[in-house]
Each structure stands twice: as C-alpha cells, then as structure tokens.
Amino acid sequence: MAEAEEDRKPQSDEAHSAFAPVGGVDQATAPEEDHPSSEFTIPTGLRIPQLPEDKESSAFAPPPSYDAQHASAFTPPGGVPVVRLVKEAPWQDRMRTILRTPVAERPAPEPTQKHEEDEGRAVPRVLDLTLRIGELLLAGGEGAEDVEAAMFAVTHSYGLDRCEPNVTFTLIAISYQPSLVDDPVTASRTVRRRGTDYTRLSAVYRLVDDISSEEVDISLEEAYRRLAELRRNRHPYPGWALTAAAGLLAGSAAVLVGGDVLVFVAAALGAMLGDRLAWLCAGRGLPEFYQFVVAAMPPAAMGVAISLLDLPDVKASAVITGGLFALIPGRALVAGVQDGLTGYYITAAARLLEVGYLIVGIVCGVLMVLYLGVTLDAGLNPETSIHSSDRPWIQILASMSLSLAFAILLQQERSTVLLVTLNGGVAWIVFGALARTGGISPVAATAVAAGLVGLFGQLLSRYRFASALPYVTAAIGPLLPGSATYFGLLEIARNNLNPGLASLSKAAALALAIAIGVNLGGELSRLFLKAPRMAGGQKARRAAKRTRGF
C-alpha cells in the first residue's frame, strides 16, 4: 500500500528530464513513429528549396530562403562600408584612418619590415620601441592622435596588427592581442619630462617614416640604434642664441603693436633678463609655474620704469605687451584644443589645465609689478588698442622677425626656419587685410589667418614627410593675443574689473580662434590634398631615403 502511494506522488523537478517520455506512454509498447523526435529534425510541412546539383553556390551568396522584405536590418542596406587604405597616401593619413575606424572593422595592412631573425622575441621589443618613440613625440608637444598614429605605424610595420595604443597627458600604453585565445601583452611608459626640440621631433618622424616605408629596410636593432642617436643629439642652437631670440621676439612684438626703436630695445632687454632669470630658477629645480612668474616680471618692470621716466612718444604698454608675447604658451594651447577636437578629451583637459596654470603664473608676475606701478602713479593707461598702428610694411617685417625668433626658441631645424618665417608673414598679411581693410572682427580674421597657417603647414609637412608642428607653431606667433592680455591685466590692476574681464575674454576668444583655425586647416588639407608624386607615378621621397642615415 505504501509503495503504491509512493508511485502516485509527483516527481520533483530534479527528477524530470528534457528527454523523458511523455507520461503514460510505454516506450516498449509504443509505435516507432510516436517516439519524440530530435530538436534538429525538420518540422513537418516546412519546404526547403533544392539547389540544382550542377550549380555551385558561394559562401557569400544569400540563402535561397532569404527574403529581403522580411529580413531583419542588422546591417545598413548598402552593407558595412569598407575602409580603403591608399598606399600612396602618407603614413600619417593611413594610420589616422585606422584610428578613426571602429576596432571590429579595422583593416590589417601588410607589414613592411620582415626580419626572420627577430621572430620569437619581436613582440616585447617592438612594443618597447613603439613606446619609446611615442614618448619622444608626446614629450615634444605632438598631439595625442598623431602620437597614436605613429605608434600604429611602427607596430603594423613589424607585423603586430592587433595592437591598441592609448595616449594620455603623462601615460603611454599599448596592448597586443596575439589571438583570440592568447593572453594580451600590455606595456606602458610615463612621460615625466617635457622639452621643446622640434629638431628631435622631425628626426623621430623621419625614423617612423623609414620604418613604415617598403623601400627602406630597418631591423629592430637598427631602429634602436637610430633612436639612441636621437636621444643623444645636442640642441641645434646654443643658450646665448636662445636668449637673443627671446629678446628679438619681444622687441618684434612691441614694434608690431606700435612701438619704435626705443621700445624695441627696452622690450628686448626685459625679455632677455626674464629668460635668464627663468633659466636660473629652472636650474634650482623650481616648478615651471614659478619660472613663468619670474620671467614675466622684468618686461613689466621695464614698462613701469619707462612710464615713470615720462618719455615723450614712448608707449610703455608696447614694452609689456612684447614681453607677454614671448611667454604666452601658444604651442600647448594649440595642442590642447587639437586633442579636444579629435576626441582625446582627457589629454585635452590636462593640456588646457597646464596652459591655465602657466597663464596664471604670467598674470601673477605682471600684476605684482603693475600694482607697484599704479601705487607709484606711473601713468599706465591703455593708450593703444590691438594692432592700432598703420604701418603695414614695418608690421610685416616685425611679424616675420617674430616668427623667426619663435622658430629658434622651438629648436627647429635650420632648413625650416625660412619657410616658417614666410608663413608667419603670410598669416599677418591675411589678418591685416581682413581686420583692417575688410573691417572683419579680429576673432574671425584671426581664425582665417590661422586656418591658412595650418593649411600651408600641412602642405609643407607632406612634401617633407615630417610633422606639421615646426611649420605651424612659430607661424602663429604674430597672431597671439598679447595686447588683449596686457590690457585686461592693467584694467584689473586699476580696479576696473568689468573692462579687464572683457579684455581677457577677448584674449581667450582669440586664442581659441587660433587653435581651431590651425586644426581646421590641417583637416582640410588631409581631405583635399593628395601625396606628392613624381613623373612616372612614384611617390616623391627625400634623397636621404636611399640610405639608412638621416
């Protein structure tokens, strides 16, 4: 009786099986057609069209049962767009195209450097070489996207396709996935010291260009040797030349805003004294913020001294403005805005924060001296406006001289100094024609002039297969908002906060116009300009490409 009750109890969930027969059916006596069928069995009533036996089908052809009207739209109607890499394009454009493509759709270009002796130990060495190259580029002021493009070029040239670089303001990392089942290999480096040396930056670009070229054979050992030579190279200009260039830059900027010979000399002396004091502070290990505070004080003190002497027809504000031109961090500003426009927001925020700290240092140094001058009744008045002097030929020469001095301060190659000087003169001519003759807003005129600077800089860099920074940064020197910055600080020192903040806002708008114009000019050049070609269809290359040296 108890056994019969146990048989009538329902079984628990654990006792059920997905393949158990239906209750009440005896497997031994049930007919064969009543047995449960497999889940892969074709249901009754489903018709499958048969293909002709003599017709070959393709793996990429849609199945015969496919109906486009009732199909789910998992992909666009025209299919996923295929990324095409033009081999004739510069490696910067090809790698930038890969960067801006989703990871799942990135093509795998053919490696250009194939060395059998490096197999087995190439992965960690290639990653280390890539990080060292990226470190030099980022420390030299290159934008985050261009640094990642160079890292992509190195890894793809040595056959590492599944690499993902990551560049921030101080950290460079790269990850390599050998396959879907292997563990990734990740390495990183920290950029702690930054220095402005565009000669070294151009040399690094030549090294990356040679590595990514099919005509030049560079093994890992050869690449390491050239990279070590780059790090050991001395700066192209001595210290006294840099100090003289700082004075020439300040004097030219003073003439640009209406100064005469005496103003030129005073501004140059103030800037050179500030440069030497900044070098002294740097040698003592003081942070860069305090270096800018100290460097901004001598030009302001020179302007206050001229105001106290009450010399006729001498514009003290032009002296202080010239000193500010030599200190405004235009290079970091352009790089920061460029990173923001290309989607690297963390790096852009860090760069712009650095620019903010440096500008605050300049403000502190100038304001301390201006407060002293106002207390002594130095007669500091905003007697000039931005670019108010009507001396076009003198201003053109002053703008070219300013670009020349800026190029020397940036440690550019001597072969690029003349080109960037001419580019700076063109920028000032365009600005003067639009702002003074055409009556356009100074902000809009500055953006257009900066756009032409970026366009010409990209064109020159493409023909020389180098970075665009040496051809752009120094050329925007005449467009920097030195006068607006000075007048804003002067009004704040005189307790006129509203005019002072308005002038500083105008300076910020001019700075953003410069950065956006430079970036837009570069993007337009990449869209519409092709790589230079020689007769016969071959891409033009430098003469140094025939050897392994520079």
Render pLDDT for 477-508 as a digit per residue (tens, 0 to 9): 888 887 777 777 777 777 778 888 888 888 88
Give the pLDDT confidence score for residue 532 in this predicted structure.
Answer: 43
Domain span at 176 = 91-232
Which of 67-81, 110-124, 219-233, 518-532 has the weakest average pLDDT? 67-81
Q: Which of 288, 331, 328 is nearest to 142 (CA)?
A: 331
Give the pLDDT confidence score for residue 334 in this predicted structure.
Answer: 78
Give the pLDDT confidence score for residue 546 in this predicted structure.
Answer: 31
One domain for residues 160 and 249: no
- Please tell me the pTM assigned to this model: 0.71
- Of 202, 232, 262, the residue at which a domain comes to its end is 232
456: pLDDT strictly greater than 50: yes
Q: Which residues contact 23 (CB under 8 A, 6 or more apart)?
A: none
162: pLDDT strictly greater than 50: yes
Render pLDDT for 218-236 as a digit per residue (tens, 0 to 9): 888 888 999 888 887 777 8
Q: Is residue 47 part of a domain?
A: no
What DSSP designation does 466 have? S
Give the pLDDT confidence score for residue 330 in this predicted structure.
Answer: 75
71: pLDDT strictly greater than 60: no
Render pLDDT for 409-422 as a digit per residue (tens, 0 to 9): 888 888 888 888 99
**Residue 210, CA distances (Å) to 267, 284, 320, 542 in order:** 44, 40, 46, 11
Render pLDDT for 327-380 as a digit per residue (tens, 0 to 9): 888 778 778 888 888 888 888 888 888 888 888 888 888 888 888 877 777 666
One domain for residues 318 and 383: yes
Q: Which one has a higher pLDDT value, 363 or 174?
A: 174
- Of 209, 232, 255, the residue at which a domain comes to its end is 232
One domain for residues 388 and 506: yes
One domain for residues 155 and 268: no
Band of pLDDT at residue 77, cut at 50, 70 and 90: low
Query: What is the number of domains present in the chain?
Result: 2
Q: Is residue 14 part of a domain?
A: no
Quickly count: other Cβ atoms within 10 Å of residue 145's Cβ.
Answer: 21
What is the rounded CA–CA span in Å between residue 105 and residue 144? 22
Distance between start and end Cα atoms, the chain: 101
What is the rounded CA–CA span in Å between residue 25 and residue 21? 7
Are the CB atoms for 275 and 246 separated by under 8 Å?
Answer: yes
Helix (H, G, I), strand (E, B) or coil at 203: helix
Give the pLDDT confidence score for residue 58 in this predicted structure.
Answer: 59
Give the pLDDT confidence score for residue 531 in this predicted structure.
Answer: 46
Q: Which H, E and C letters describe 337-378, residue by residue?
A: HHHHHCCCHHHHHHHHHHHHHHHHHHHHHHHHHHHHHHHCCC
What is the rounded CA–CA span in Å between residue 232 and residue 521? 34
One domain for residues 215 and 301: no
- Of 192, 213, 232, the residue at which a domain comes to its end is 232
Render pLDDT for 5-43 as a digit per residue (tens, 0 to 9): 555 544 544 444 444 444 444 545 545 445 455 555 566
Which of 229-233, 272-276, 361-365, 536-540 has the weakest average pLDDT? 536-540
Q: Is residue 350 part of a domain?
A: yes
One domain for residues 251 and 351: yes
Residue 272 backbone class (left: φ over 0; alpha: ψ -120 to 50; beta: rest): alpha
- Of the chain, the percentage scoring pLDDT greater than 70 comes to 70
Give the pLDDT confidence score for residue 61 in this predicted structure.
Answer: 62
Render pLDDT for 517-531 as a digit per residue (tens, 0 to 9): 888 877 777 676 654
Q: Is residue 78 part of a domain?
A: no
Q: Is residue 535 part of a domain?
A: no
What is the rounded CA–CA span in Å between residue 355 and residue 349? 10
